A and B are shown apart, each in its own frame.
Chain A
Amino acid sequence: MTRPLLRMNPRPRLPALALAACLLAPALAAAQPSTADGAPALKARTCSVEGLMDSIRRGLHSNSEAYKTYLRTLLRESAVKLPLAELQAAFEREQDPALVEHLAAALVARTERGLEPAAMQAVAKRALDDPNPGLRAATVRALRRTGALEHTGDLYQRLVRDASPEVRMEAATNLVEDNLHVYGGHDGPAADSAVAAAATSSDPKVTAHILGQLMTGEISTGSAHKIEQLLHNDSVEVRAAASAALGGVPAAEAPSARASLVSLYYDESDPTVRKSILQSIARLGYASAVPELQRLRSVDPSLGSEIDSWIQILNKNPQDWGLILREKQKQQAR
């Protein structure tokens, strides 16, 4: 469930604690430890690209995940205040994949916060052009859960055709996670971009990875038709994922999607794909799908219990897909 915790008239929590923190701060600042007993000589200073990169390079060997996360976050949060030229130069000469990913994330952060688009474009360029597939993959990861879809044109349609399977799958993961976590699964253009990339790729794993997890409730008619065409793909994985994706299409696309799925069910031989089709027929039709499901019962007797399970649930006239899925999972667990 993506719905955030909501409450009426939100009120600040623990205000007394925050107030007292302010009162105590001067006294605590004076409690800085000396180095005589081995305590670190902690001193605040302004961040620099060189200093941060030295720290991160050494920090990569730390056993503390907390420290590594801190350094990565510090670089990204400092990015808007660091000189772009220095940051970009460091990014372009760096050859360690982990550091490339950190520097790329810092550049992306500049564009994300409304500074120059060129920062993210430099990252996109390296994601496409670097001769080292490991570095291309690291750069693609740095674009994850950002607004890259809005700034990089057909980047993802190109990345899903990369020569490296690792790069292709990283790009697919970005599309899935951006749609879900940046746009909440409810943005038509973002979902359409993902469908376009899925349809463009010739890697079945990539296409299946995208379509298998994409929320398609607000895709365009063109995207729905692209997915329908993928129902005839040679790959079982792709056919199963495309079948699943069609189950969530908008109301206007539902009749066409439903007809395509029913047609495929008769021609399909793979049980995984057939199960995926049954689920989407249920999702597109709810209680009105029951007669169709009953007709399909004779096509493949081995799936009779699966169809009966859907019919039993849909006959209760449920109105919410989440509740339907939960009921299905309960039935499977029995």
Chain B
Amino acid sequence: MIPEPIHRPAPPRTKGRTRFVVTALGTMALLAAVALLSRGFGKDSGQPKTRQAPELARLARFAPSGTDETDRQGKTADDKASRFDDTTCWDDIENFNEKVTLENFREWAAPLWASKDPLVIEYLKQRLGELIGDDEGRAGQVLGWARSASPAEFKLLMGGLRSSKALPKMAAQLTSLGLDKSLDLGRRAGFLDELQHLPRLEPEALDKLTHLAEDASSGEAGWVTTRAIGRVMKADLTRTGTFEPYLDKLLTIGANSKDEQVRYLALEMELHAEAPLDAKALDRLEKILTTDGSDHVRQVVAHDLSLSEDKPRALDIYAKAFQQETDLCARWAFFRFAARVAGKDALPIMANMAQGDPRFQGIYQEFDRLYASGIVDFGRLWLSLPSDNPFGCLDHHDDP
């Protein structure tokens, strides 16, 4: 398991509490803009110190101060409620639900999805999935509609297919539609995006998809295809232990695509699957690490290498790459992932790095001190560092 803050931005560790899930749907205007809720609760939150208070009084201790009707800013519940969008209730939707069939679905559903009511659109996707069931013929019929549907209806139809049990049977048709050059690229991307939910990809399809993903002119279609290959790899690895054909293709895309974001994604998918790396894969990653022009890509490759079981080889690659590297954030990646791959055995290599670049002297002392204190694994060491972002690199990837 990869500790979250190693490679990407992480929530603050001690200043407050970060809620990872907002229970509301992302459809409300306000909540859609606030994917993460940061709460400034102190360490005593949820820990009452006295037990004499009546129950409601005890519960109320956690409420903001203010009157029953207002909070500290003087805002009433009505004031706050006004920030949220109204919901819509639909007359006769019960009748719709009972009598809708696959045959009349498009006609009957049209006024609902045209309304842009996000809750009813989500319902329509799920209901369409129920109407398709696990019937390949019905799923094929919906795919046929999707070839020429308007963009908004296309999304509805694909959502319905995705929620149906027939989706795993549609790999060949989805691949064929995704590669059909007579269709516009946006629609092809929509078909290809569904491949990510499949349990496996056949070798022939994998070849064709890789060819498409490598081609920078594929745009979004190439990006979603790369993600699909990575996600199917993870599913197939978990289910059957198979990962080699997918990893081979991802490394090919990571080396060859002219689109930096596609290369980055291809190499990042390895991390999500945590697929084992053999000597050949290490060779390919080393080549990318030393030749790719993007420091973002070089950093994600450094992360990939930390999954290697060949620790001496990985350390050797990090040591050489550090010397050649000019980007500070990439050097920080090589430095910390050396520790992740070999623990305190990496300290001599890290000491050399710090000797070559004095900016790393301070952080080297921290690693040395923590290992000397008895910490034995990278996860606990990372959480014990005074800062997980000593060089200001963690937000680097999201810079415009």
Contact = CB atoms under 8 A, between A and B. Distances in A.
Interface stretch (A202-210, A228-236, A303-311, A314-322): A314-322
Contacts of A153: 46, 48, 58-59, 61-62
Contacts, number: 329
Contacts of B309: 316
B20 A189 contact: no
B77 interface: yes
Contact of B220 (A14, A81, A149): A14
B377 A32 contact: no
B: contact size bracket: 35 or more
A261 B152 CA distance: 59
Given A8-B261, A182-B21, A193-B47, A43 B152 contact: no
Contacts of A128: 55
Given A39-B104, A69-B123, A8 B377 contact: no
Contact of A192 (B47, B84, B107, B264): B47
Of A80, A117, A155, A250, most buried by chain B (CB within 10 Å of CB) is A80
Nearest to A157: B48
A131 interface: no
B209 interface: no
B130 A64 contact: yes
A118 B272 contact: no
B4 interface: yes
Nearest to B43: A189
A80 to B, nearest CB: 5
A44 B115 contact: yes
Nearest to A54: B94
Interface stretch (B25-33, B248-256, B316-324, B352-360): B25-33
A147 interface: yes
Interface string B34-62: 00000101011111100100011011111
Contact of B89 (A19, A74, A155): A74
Contacts of B115: 29, 44
B280 interface: no
A6 B130 CA distance: 32
B379 A217 contact: yes
B351 to A, nearest CB: 18
Given A38-B99, A115-B80, A250 B383 contact: yes
Contacts of B45: 149-150, 189
B110 interface: yes
Q: Is the interface of A mostly helix, strand, loop or mixed?
A: helix
Nearest to B111: A32
Interface residues of A, number: 112
Contacts of A45: 88-91
A226 to B, nearest CB: 13
B166 to A, nearest CB: 15
Contact of B62 (A150, A184, A254): A150
A25 B114 contact: yes
A317 to B, nearest CB: 6
Given A33-B108, A153-B61, A285-B376, A41 B127 contact: no
Interface string A187-217: 1111011001000000000000000000001
Interface in A45-79: 45-48, 51-52, 55, 58-59, 62, 64-67, 69-70, 73-74, 76-78
Contacts of A29: 111, 114-115
A89 interface: no
24 contacts: A3-B4, A6-B8, A7-B268, A8-B261, A9-B399, A9-B400, A20-B152, A21-B155, A40-B108, A42-B93, A44-B88, A62-B97, A69-B126, A77-B25, A81-B87, A109-B23, A118-B68, A150-B46, A151-B62, A152-B46, A251-B374, A286-B343, A320-B2, A322-B2
Given A81-B86, A153-B48, A319-B340, 17 more contacts: A1-B2, A8-B397, A17-B151, A28-B110, A40-B99, A42-B93, A45-B88, A47-B88, A47-B89, A69-B126, A70-B122, A74-B87, A78-B87, A150-B46, A250-B380, A287-B376, A320-B340
The 3 nearest A-B residue pairs measured at CB? A322-B1, A21-B152, A66-B126
Interface of B: 1-2, 4, 7-8, 11, 17-25, 27-28, 30-31, 39, 41, 43-48, 51, 55-56, 58-64, 68, 77, 80-81, 84, 86-99, 104, 107-108, 110-117, 119-120, 122-123, 126-127, 129-130, 150-152, 154-155, 184, 186-187, 189-190, 193, 220, 224, 227, 261, 264-265, 268, 272, 274, 296, 307, 309, 311, 339-343, 345, 373-381, 383-384, 397-400
